[in-house]
Copies of this chain bind each other. A is one copy, B any other.
Amino acid sequence: MTLERQKLAAEAIETAATMLKCIGHPVRLQIIELLDREGEQNVTAIYEALRIEQAVASQHLNLMRDKGILASRRDGVNVYYRIDDPRVTRVIDCIHHCEL
């Protein structure tokens, strides 16, 4: 019953597009990659690894959390972010394996 090439419902299209657009930004994509490779990281580790402003990192992290792409937990003064959308991880893997 499952079609190989299925058609997404209108709502699914919207959420998928939102997710893809969200990770379709160089900084956010690098954050995703970092979290995918290294597991959850706090904000300092992220903005130092990417050599970006703290505020910029925080804004992108918040955006992705709002969209359900990332989740966070606070441990004392640190806030650790992790990937929370399985589709994101799979999309990243796809892209890696598609390098031609």
Stretch among A22-30, A40-48, A55-63, A70-78 lining the B interface: A22-30
**A8-B33, A33-B8, A94-B90 known; A20 vs B16 contact (CB < 8 Å):** no
Interface residues on A, range: 35 or more
CB-CB contacts of A4-30 with B at 8 A, as 1s and 0s?
Answer: 011110001110111111111110111
Question: Does B90 lie within 8 Å of A98, measured CB to CB?
Answer: yes
The answer to whether the Cβ of A99 comes within 8 Å of any Cβ in the partner chain is yes
Q: Are B100 and A86 in contact (CB under 8 A)?
A: yes
What is the interface of chain A, defined by CB distance below 8 A to chain B? Answer: 5-8, 12-14, 16-26, 28-30, 33, 36-37, 86-87, 90-91, 93-100
